[in-house]
Each structure stands twice: as C-alpha cells, then as structure tokens.
Amino acid sequence: MRRFAPLGFALAIAGAPAPGQQTPTFTSGVEVVRVDVLVTSNGVPVAGLTRNDFELLDNAVPQRVDVLASAQMAVNVVLAFDTSGSLTAERREHLRSAATGLLDGLRASDKAGLVTFSHVVAQRSTLTSDVGQVRAALDALSGGGDTALADGCYAAMMLGQSETGRALVIVFSDGVDTASWLPAERVLDAASRADVVTYAVSVNPGATPAFLRDLAKATGGRLYENRSTADLRETFLRVLDEFRHRYVLTYTPSGVERGGWHRLAVRVKGRRVDIQARPGYMGS
C-alpha cells in the first residue's frame, strides 16, 4: 500500500508534470481523439445507436466519427473513498458492501483499484484483475482524520489512466475538503485533460461540495446525492451498468487548429435525448 502524507503527496505531485502542462491523455495518438458519451432518454440509457447517429463538433466544426467502440471494452474502475473521521463503523460496512457488490459485477477483462483519503492519501490497491486483492484492502478500511478530497480525486484519476482501457473513477465522500494540498481548480483542470470519467457519490444532502459536481461535469460523468450510505450498493451498481452503456466515439480532428483548448459538442441526429460528455480537450 502506498501512503502519501500531505508533504510527501505534495512532493510526488510537484515532481510530476503540472496538470496544466500535461499532454492530453484522452487522445489515443497525436491525431485521434476519443470521447466517452452517455445518451439517455427519461434517465434510461439509449441503446442501439451507430456512429452515423452521432453529430460531433470540435470548436464548432463538424467532424466525421470514425469508430463507435463496443460497450464490451475492458473497464478500469478506481474506487476513491473518503475515510475521514466521519466514516463510522456502520457507514464503513455500507461502503464495503457497496464496493463488494460492484466488484462482483466486473468481468474477467476488467480491473479495479482502491484509493482512500483522509488527511492522508493512500493507494490501497493498484489496478488489478485480482478482485481478491481489492476485497482485502476494503476489509482493512478504517476511519479517522480530516478530508483531502481534491488530493484523493487527483490520485484516483492518475491511477485510472495509468493503464490502457476505459477508466471509471467512483468517488465517495460524506464531507467537505478540509486538508487538500492541491487547489480544487488545479485538480479540475487536470480532470478536463484526462481520459477518465468520474462519478461522484455524496451522502451530505444539501451540502454536497461544488467540487464534486464540477469534477463530474468536467469528465462527462454524474453526481449522485444519496440520503444514506445504506443506498450505496444500489448506486454503485447503477453507475457500473450506466458506464457499460456509454458510447466511445473516436475521430481525427479536421478543419481545426491542433493546439489550444477544443470545445466539444455531441448530438444525436433527429432525437430528443440527454447527452453527457466531457466539454472539451487540450490539443497539442
């Protein structure tokens, strides 16, 4: 298990490229851009779409969608859990049960990892197809300390994109950030450049940190606000199922400058549906 105390975590981040300087990682090559898209109607994922159903604009310029990837692609799931002092024994058991249910829903080709954060950020399990390793890490969870929410989310995103495959980060928190070294704005900037979809789950009704909402939006994910940790298992399974129903579009940018920030817009032709996708990417 890798632990990052605040100073050690700060030095680890300082030694890496700053989020604002990273090469955009949701391109699978210099010219190819990948966009993970959720299409829903009345809250239900829409199935059966082909690449010809989509309209994709890069900086307002229509692009040709080259590939519509299969939902059968391997998934890398990173669980990022708040284990600060508010994680009571009951909440810890609900969280462990929810995570175990999600692990049971993974396929042989999928991987999972676990990051926890209190005043210390700890990588409890690297990405692995050995779910037994992740289960053991979950069984060892304990609560205590403050909440380094932004730091924990950053560490989870970096772990998620450390291997090939579709990266899903599920963040659970029941509080506000009280201990992060990294500014929230810097983590959100990194999120907008990373090939990771983040779903945030909060059990702090009426007081969910704006950071979690912004993080989900920046990566094309969702925010779920639960009233109780007793509902976490259902929520986690819903997130995994929804993620498997997302579409992965790829295209080679045409008619736009390569550098700078690129605004993305995704539509489905001739249908009134709701679409969630990252708002853009940084060209190189």
Measured CA to CA in angstroms, residue 56 lies from 105, 189, 253 at distances of 32, 23, 10
pLDDT in tens, 41-68: 999 999 999 999 999 999 999 999 988 8
pLDDT category, 1, cuts 50, 70, 90? Answer: low
pLDDT for res 24: 36
For residue 122, give the nearest of 1, 12, 11 by alpha carbon: 1
One-letter amino acid at 34 equals R
Phi, psi of 88 (to 5 degrees): -70, 170
Quick one: 109 and 58 in the same domain?
Answer: no
> What gap in Å lies between CA 14 and CA 53, rounded to an integer?
43
Put the strands of the sheet holding 2-4 in their side by side order: 2-4, 121-128, 111-117, 75-82, 166-173, 196-202, 223-225
Q: What is the mean pLDDT of residues 206-218?
A: 92
Measured CA to CA in angstroms, residue 173 lies from 79, 102, 177, 188, 247 at distances of 11, 17, 9, 17, 27
Q: What is the mean pLDDT of residues 163-179?
A: 92
- Report the number of distinct structural domains present in the chain: 2
Quick one: 207 and 163 in the same domain?
Answer: yes
Token couple for 175: 């509080």
pLDDT for res 2: 58
pLDDT for res 30: 45
In a domain, 130, yes or no: yes
pLDDT for res 31: 75
In a domain, 25, yes or no: no
Quick one: 51 and 81 in the same domain?
Answer: no
Quick one: 152 and 252 in the same domain?
Answer: no
Q: What is the mean pLDDT of residues 80-85?
A: 97
Quick one: 115 and 217 in the same domain?
Answer: yes
**In this structure, how many other beta carbons lie within 10 angstroms of the beta carbon of residue 220?**
23
pLDDT category, 213, cuts 50, 70, 90? Answer: very high
Quick one: 232 and 179 in the same domain?
Answer: yes
Answer left, alpha or beta for residue 108, where phi above 0 means left and psi between -120 and 50 means alpha.
alpha
Quick one: 144 and 173 in the same domain?
Answer: yes
pLDDT for res 132: 96
Measured distance between the N- and C-terminal CA atoms of the chain, rounded to whole angstroms: 35
Residue with the two structure tokens 């900086």: 59
Residue with the two structure tokens 């970096």: 158
Identify the helix (H) or strand (E) that includes residue 216. helix 210-219
- By percentage, how much of the chain surpasses pLDDT 70? 88
In a domain, 139, yes or no: yes
Quick one: 256 and 164 in the same domain?
Answer: no
Q: Which domain holds residue 52?
A: 31-71+246-283
Quick one: 129 and 76 in the same domain?
Answer: yes
Pairing of strands 166-173, 196-202: parallel
pLDDT category, 217, cuts 50, 70, 90? Answer: very high
**Mean pLDDT, rounded, of the chain:** 88
Choice among 3-17, 93-107, 250-264 with the minimum mean pLDDT: 3-17
pLDDT for res 162: 87
Handedness of CA 222, 228, 231, 236 (dihedral sign): positive
In a domain, 148, yes or no: yes
Q: Is the pTM of this model over 0.85?
A: yes
Quick one: 138 and 103 in the same domain?
Answer: yes
> What gap in Å lies between CA 68 and CA 74, rounded to an integer?
15
For residue 144, give the nearest of 186, 64, 204, 83 by alpha carbon: 83
> What gap in Å lies between CA 151 and CA 147, rounded to an integer?
9
Token couple for 273: 């549906």
pLDDT for res 220: 95
Question: Taking a C-beta distance cutoff of 8 angstroms, is the pair 30, 12 a contact?
Answer: no
Domain with residue 219: its CATH number is: 3.40.50.410
For residue 67, give the nearest of 111, 39, 106, 35 by alpha carbon: 35
